[in-house]
C-alpha cells in the first residue's frame, strides 16, 4: 500500500472507516469478528483508521482501541468530537473544558495517550470556528492530538479556522455520486495544503454495483432514509452503474475499484475511507490502490460522467429521520 500526506501526516493511500462495525447498517457483527477484521485490514497495508465518539455512544472507539492493541504505534487514528449545543453563558474557557473532557474520554476508550487526527464532527454554527481552532491548538501543544480537522465544513469555515490553527484534513462526503465539494472545498484544501478525507467514497455501497431496486433495508439501517436508495432513484441511477461496469470490464476490475481509483487519480491529497464489514469487500477496496488509471482512461470516465444526472443524495437531515422509523 502506497502512502499519501494529509498536510504533514503520512497515512496509507486508502483508510478504513469503522463506523459500520457498530452502527448504521442494521445488525452489527460479533465483536470478536470485528476485531479480527480490523487486524486483517492492517495486514492488508492499511494504517489509517477512522472512528468517532458519537458512533454507538463511544463503543466504536472502544472496539478500535481493543483491536489495535499491540500495533498502536504503527497506525494513525482519527476520531471526532461533537458539540451540538451552545449555552447562554458561553465562554471559550467553558468550551475548552468541554473539549478536554471529550478528548480524555476518547483517549481512555481508544487505549492511547494521543489521537493523531481529531475532527470537529460537524461545524456548530453557534460557536465561532476560530474558538474551536484555538482549542485544537491547545490540545496540540499538550500532545493530546497531533493534528485536527473539520467535517462537512464550508470554504469560509475552513479558511477562518485554518488562520488560527493550521488544519490537517477536512473529512467530508465525496464520491462519484456526491461531488458537491469539488467546486470550492477541495480546491481550497489544495491551495492551503490541507488533506481531504472522503467518507462514503462508495456512496454507502451503491457504487459496488450490488444494489437493486428490489432490495429492502430493515431496522436501524441508514439506507432506509438515504434518498439515493429509494427505488425510483436506484433505477434512475443505473446509467452511472453502466459506466462503472463498462470501465471495470476494460480494467478487469470491479465498479467499486473503478470508483476508488477515479478518486485517487483526482488529487494526491485525497484519501478515501471505505468501511465494508465483509473481508472480501475490504480486500476488493484495498486492491483499488493497485489499479492505476492513465490520463486517457480518467478523461474518458469524466466525459462519460458529465452527461449523467445523479438522483438522490445523503443528507444529515434525512439521517435524523431514522430515529423515528419503526421496524
* Residues assigned a catalytic role: 55
Residue 232 CB burial class (10 angstroms; 0-12, 13-18, ≥19): exposed
Provide the pairing of β-strand 270-272 with 195-199: parallel
Question: d(Cα 118, Cα 140) in Å, to the nearest integer?
Answer: 10
**What 3-state DSSP class applies to 109?**
helix
d(C-alpha 16, C-alpha 262), whole Å: 18
Measure CA 52 to chain center. Answer: 11
Nearest to 41 by CA among 283, 235, 211, 260: 283
Q: Which three cell numbers stand for residue 200?
A: 462514503
Residue pair 115/79 in contact (Cβ under 8 Å)? The answer is yes
Please name the residue that has the C-alpha cell 498536510.
7
Q: How many CA atoms lie within 13 A of 80 on its CB side?
A: 28
Beta strand segments in 242-318, E: 270-272
Which one, of 130, 63, 132, lies nearest residue 96 by Cα? 132
268 DSSP 8-state letter: T
Amino acid at each position: 500500500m502506497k502512502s499519501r500526506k494529509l498536510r504533514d501526516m503520512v497515512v496509507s493511500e486508502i483508510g478504513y472507516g469503522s463506523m459500520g462495525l457498530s452502527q448504521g447498517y442494521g445488525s452489527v457483527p460479533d465483536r470478536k469478528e470485528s476485531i479480527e477484521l480490523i487486524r486483517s485490514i492492517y495486514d492488508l497495508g492499511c494504517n489509517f483508521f477512522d472512528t468517532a465518539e458519537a458512533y454507538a455512544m463511544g463503543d466504536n472507539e472502544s472496539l478500535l482501541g481493543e483491536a489495535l492493541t499491540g500495533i498502536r504505534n504503527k497506525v494513525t487514528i482519527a476520531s471526532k468530537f461533537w458539540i451540538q449545543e451552545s449555552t447562554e453563558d458561553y465562554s471559550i474557557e467553558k468550551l475548552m473544558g468541554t473539549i478536554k473532557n471529550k478528548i480524555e474520554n476518547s483517549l481512555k476508550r481508544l487505549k492511547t495517550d494521543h489521537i493523531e487526527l481529531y475532527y470537529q464532527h460537524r461545524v456548530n454554527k453557534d460557536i465561532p470556528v476560530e474558538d474551536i481552532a484555538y482549542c485544537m491548538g491547545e490540545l496540540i501543544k499538550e500532545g493530546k492530538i497531533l493534528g485536527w480537522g473539520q467535517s462537512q465544513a464550508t470554504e469560509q469555515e475552513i479558511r477562518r479556522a485554518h488562520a488560527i490553527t493550521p488544519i490537517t484534513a477536512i473529512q467530508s462526503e465525496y464520491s462519484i455520486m456526491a461531488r458537491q465539494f469539488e467546486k470550492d472545498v477541495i480546491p481550497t484544501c489544495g491551495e492551503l495544503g490541507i488533506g481531504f478525507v472522503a467518507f462514503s467514497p462508495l456512496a454507502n455501497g451503491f457504487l459496488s454495483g450490488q444494489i437493486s431496486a428490489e432490495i429492502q433495508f430493515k431496522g436501524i439501517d441508514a439506507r432506509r432514509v438515504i434518498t439515493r436508495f429509494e427505488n425510483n432513484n436506484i433505477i434512475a441511477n443505473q446509467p452511472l452503474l453502466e459506466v462503472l461496469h463498462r470501465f471495470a470490464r476494460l480494467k478487469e476490475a470491479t465498479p467499486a475499484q473503478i470508483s476508488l481509483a477515479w478518486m485517487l487519480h483526482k488529487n494526491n491529497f485525497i484519501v478515501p475511507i471505505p468501511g465494508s464489514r465483509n473481508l472480501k469487500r475490504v480486500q476488493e477496496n484495498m486492491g483499488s490502490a493497485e489499479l492505476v488509471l492513465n490520463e486517457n482512461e480518467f478523461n474518458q470516465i469524466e466525459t462519460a460522467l458529465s452527461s449523467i444526472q445523479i438522483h438522490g443524495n445523503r443528507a444529515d437531515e434525512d439521517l435524523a429521520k431514522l430515529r423515528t422509523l419503526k421496524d
